[in-house]
Chains A and B, each alone.
Chain A
Amino acid sequence: MITEIGAFLHKGTGSKLLAELEGDKRILGIYVEAGRTEDLFAFREFGSASENDIVTILAEAKNADAIFKLISEKADLTEPQSGLVYQMPLHKRAS
């Protein structure tokens, strides 16, 4: 059973996270996309939106708690405007 842990973070944070987690044996895959968000951050760059990074991590379910906590701490979710981390199950895996 594998799980997806995703995070909507400030622009630039995704690449840093990618570099920090590179080589972590618990992580099966990590991907970073750039996008825009309507409501997570108060600053505005494009009309009503602001730039952000979307990080997607694939991991075994047994490691999900530790990775979720790690990402949440790195995102510093105790502060406002820091982003959002989520977790969802994936039902099939092939590689």
Chain B
Amino acid sequence: MAGRQITYLTDAQMITCIVQASQADKVVKAAQDVGAQGATITYARGTGVRERMGLLGVAIDEQKEMIRIIVSQEQADRVFEAMYLAGDLDKPGMGIMFMNDLDRIATYIPDEVLNDAKQTKPTRKASSKSKTTKKAGAKK
């Protein structure tokens, strides 16, 4: 693996949002409108509030969509709030969302972006020579 480098991005958060089926697209659109690059969506099955609130358990859809979005710390609150409002999560039974700190992210970063980052911001060197660390910026 000589010559290969892993660039770690730090200062990022993962926002996870669980909404009723078919609601994910509008929540993702709201996140993108305030700067998120995109999202990863999976299908899931939910329980809990459905039994407590749904009329005979049918008024609240059992099928859920789970949205994961990775954002920089600077963007996190803005994206979180936009998703919350777009998903109507202030209404009962519409879903739940939470945010986690990420220790680090690795993905492909074009050389020109890395070079620009080196010129504009000081980078922290990781312990190994083959690794560099830089701030996440707006990377999804």
Query: Residues on A close to B: CB < 8 A?
Result: 3, 8, 33-40, 49, 52, 54, 64, 68-69, 72-73, 77-89
Contacts and interface: CB of A to CB of B under 8 A. Distances in A.
Contacts of B43: 35
B14 interface: yes
Contacts of A36: 40-42
B42 A34 contact: yes
- Chain B contact-residue range equals 20 to 34
Given A72-B106, A86-B106, A88-B14, 17 more contacts: A33-B42, A35-B40, A35-B41, A35-B66, A37-B38, A37-B39, A37-B40, A38-B38, A38-B40, A39-B37, A54-B42, A64-B103, A68-B104, A77-B108, A84-B106, A86-B12, A86-B103
B101 interface: yes
A79 to B, nearest CB: 6
A40 B103 contact: no
Contact of B38 (A39, A73, A81): A39
A37 B6 CA distance: 23
Nearest to A3: B103
A37 B14 CA distance: 15
B68 interface: yes
B107 A85 contact: yes
Nearest to A4: B100
A87 B102 contact: yes
A86 B14 contact: yes
B135 interface: no
Nearest to A75: B106
B30 interface: no
B92 interface: no
B108 A86 contact: no
A82 B32 CA distance: 21
B98 to A, nearest CB: 12
Nearest to B127: A65
Contact of A37 (B1, B41, B101, B102): B41
B40 A77 contact: no
